[in-house]
Each structure stands twice: as C-alpha cells, then as structure tokens.
Amino acid sequence: MERTALRGRLTWLEAEVVQLVQETARVKTIVFRVPGWTGHLPGQHVDIRLTAEDGYQAQRSYSIANANNNEHVALTVEAVENGEVSPYLVDELVAGDRIELRGPIGGYFVWEPSLGGPLQLIAGGSGLVPLMAMIRSQMSYASPVRTNLVASARSWEELIYRDELEKLSRERDDFDVVYTLTRSQPHGWNGYGRRIDKDLLAASTFAVEEAPLIFVCGPTGFVETAAAIMLELGHQPGGIKTERFGPSGG
C-alpha cells in the first residue's frame, strides 16, 4: 500500500480533463473529472503535479472554482508569461488528457454556511477564483447571505466570469458587484478605473457596523493593500481572511 494513503494524508489522484472554457484571452477554466474526489468547500485549493518524460516534476496550487459537484473539479488558470506550469495548463491540455492533483486543501480561507454573513469579497485578477466558488456555492443554498464583491481587473476583456457576475447582480437582490478596471476602461464606462484605495473600498464595501466576513484574494501586493485598508476602515483583524497568489500579474 502506498504510504500516502495513511489516514489524513492527501493522495495524488488522476484527474481527466472533461471540459475547457476560454474565459479571457489568457485564462481558461479547466474542468476535471476526479475519480475518488471526496468533495470540497468553497475557498479550498488543490495541488497539481506535472511530470515530464525525463522525470522532472513541477507542482503548483490552484483554487477550486466550482461549488461542490460530485467528482468534478474546475480550475481557472491564467497563463503567466514565461510560466512553467500555467501556460502548459492553458495552452496544451485538451479533453481526455490526464494530470495528477491532490486535495481539497485548506480550512482557513473557506466559507461555510455556518459562518453566516454578510460576505465581503475582494478580488484582484485571478484571485476571483476561490471567491467565485463561495458565490456559486452560497447562491445555491436555501438562505444565502448578502454578498458583496469588489473585483479588480486590468480591463473589461480581462475580467473573468463577467457574464455570470452580470447575470447574478441583475437577478439577485442579495448579490452586488463593484468593478474597477485598472488599465483600460470600455467606452462610456462609469465604474471605477483605478487601483483599489481607501476611498474606493470605503464607498463600495459593507460598513464596519454590519460586521462582514471579509475574504481578500489575489496577487500578493493587491492582498496586502486591500487588507491594510480594511483594517484602517475599522474592521476587526480576525474578520479579514487573506490568500496570496504570488507576484503581481494584475
């Protein structure tokens, strides 16, 4: 028996690509079928492992984008320029390919119904991925909590999930989204067009009195900035949960 199969250990599972969705020019959602998957909570991630012919291995983390759904795990990956792993996932994988992954991983950056709300989500670039899993999950519950999302992207074209977010915000009273487009804005844009700052977050997030649960995710610099501002606005440190994806892409 493999040693990794011991209780509580994570085992590498074979995941088969079943669907690919082009989200933006450089971002794809890759849906895997993972026999043996035991389900996940919104906010959790997986480790993926690639192995070359010569035995060389590379391992990276990717957040789970979908609500718990049997054996299906959806990842949304941005192809980072000169990246070793992300361009492979985005440009090479086709339906039927198999890779290894293990998970679900994480117990801190997760939202469960028992935690309640309201839910304040703040996303930079692909940091939207785990927050989208929270939105998707809790919108399917009987009594969803009020949710507000601030999403920062370089441009409208580079904003992932935008059709789904637009639809949700039109159709649901309990869901609001505020966009800020940092590099370029479409003609006639009347949303924000700058990097997040104190005024922007003060105007577009739940007030301190509402005691929101705050989740911030994105490139490291973005997360540091957003978390510091939320503290400055008077939110409790324990109420702000953060997850950093690494060097800045957006």
Partner 1 sequence: MNSDTHLDGNSIGSLLQDLFGREMTDQRACCDACGAINPLATARVYVDAPGHVVRCAICGTVVLVAVTVPTGVRISFQALRWVELAP
Partner 2 sequence: MSLISRGFQRRREVEASPDRVPPGQYVTNDFPVLSAGPTPRISAEEWRFRVTSERGEETTWTWEEFSALPAEAVKVDIHCVTKWSKLDTDWRGVSVDTILKGVGSSAAFATAHSYGGYTTNLPVVDLTGGKAWIAFQYGGQPLAPEHGGPARLLVPHLYFWKSAKWIHRLELRDSDRPGFWESLGYHGYGDPWKEQRYAGD
Ligand X SMILES: Cc1cc2nc3c(=O)[nH]c(=O)nc-3n(C[C@H](O)[C@H](O)[C@H](O)COP(=O)(O)OP(=O)(O)OC[C@H]3O[C@@H](n4cnc5c(N)ncnc54)[C@H](O)[C@@H]3O)c2cc1C
Q: According to the binding rule CB under 8 A, does residue 81 interact with partner 2?
A: no
Phi/psi-derived region of residue 48, left when phi > 0, alpha when psi is between -120 and 50, beta in every other case: beta
Backbone angles phi, psi at 243, to 5 degrees: -140, 125
Q: According to the binding rule CB under 8 A, does residue 14 interact with partner 2?
A: yes
Q: Is 247 helix (H, G, I), strand (E, B) or coil?
A: coil
The Cβ of residue 122 has, within 10 Å, a number of other Cβ atoms equal to 31
Q: According to the binding rule CB under 8 A, does residue 111 interact with partner 1?
A: no
Picked from partner 2, ligand X, partner 1, none, the partner binding residue 52 (CB below 5 to 8 A depending on kind) is: partner 2
Token pair for 13: 């599972």
- Considering only residues 19, 51, 140, 248, which one is a binding residue for partner 2 as defined by CB under 8 A? 51
The CA distance from 193 to 6, in Å, is: 51
Q: How far is the CB of 88 from partner 2 (least distance, A)?
A: 6
With respect to partner 2, which residue has the nearer C-beta, 188 or 247?
247
Q: According to the binding rule CB under 6 A, does residue 129 interact with ligand X?
A: yes
Q: Which stretch binds partner 2 (CB under 8 A): 48-56, 65-73, 150-158, 190-198?
A: 48-56
The helix-helix angle for 128-139 and 162-171 (nearest 10°) equals 40
The CA distance from 17 to 26, in Å, is: 18
Site string for partner 2, 150-189 (x = CB under 8 A): ----------------------------------------
Residue 217 · residue 242 · CB < 8 Å: yes
Q: Which among 159, 240, 182, 181 has a CA at the least distance from the CA of 206?
A: 240
Q: Which stretch binds partner 2 (CB under 8 A): 52-60, 128-136, 151-159, 204-212?
A: 52-60
Token pair for 224: 């540091």
* 3-class SS shares of the chain: helix, strand, coil, % to 5: 25, 35, 40
Please give the single-letter amino acid code of residue 199: D
Q: Which stretch binds partner 1 (CB under 8 A): 102-110, 153-161, 168-176, 185-193?
A: 102-110
- Considering only residues 15, 30, 34, 62, which one is a binding residue for ligand X as defined by CB under 6 A? 62
**Which stretches of the chain bind partner 1, using CB under 8 A?**
6-10, 45, 47, 61, 102-103, 105-109, 219-221, 224, 241-248
Task: Catalog residues that contact ligand X under the rule CB under 6 A.
Answer: 45, 60-63, 76-78, 80, 82-86, 126, 129, 219, 243, 245-247, 249
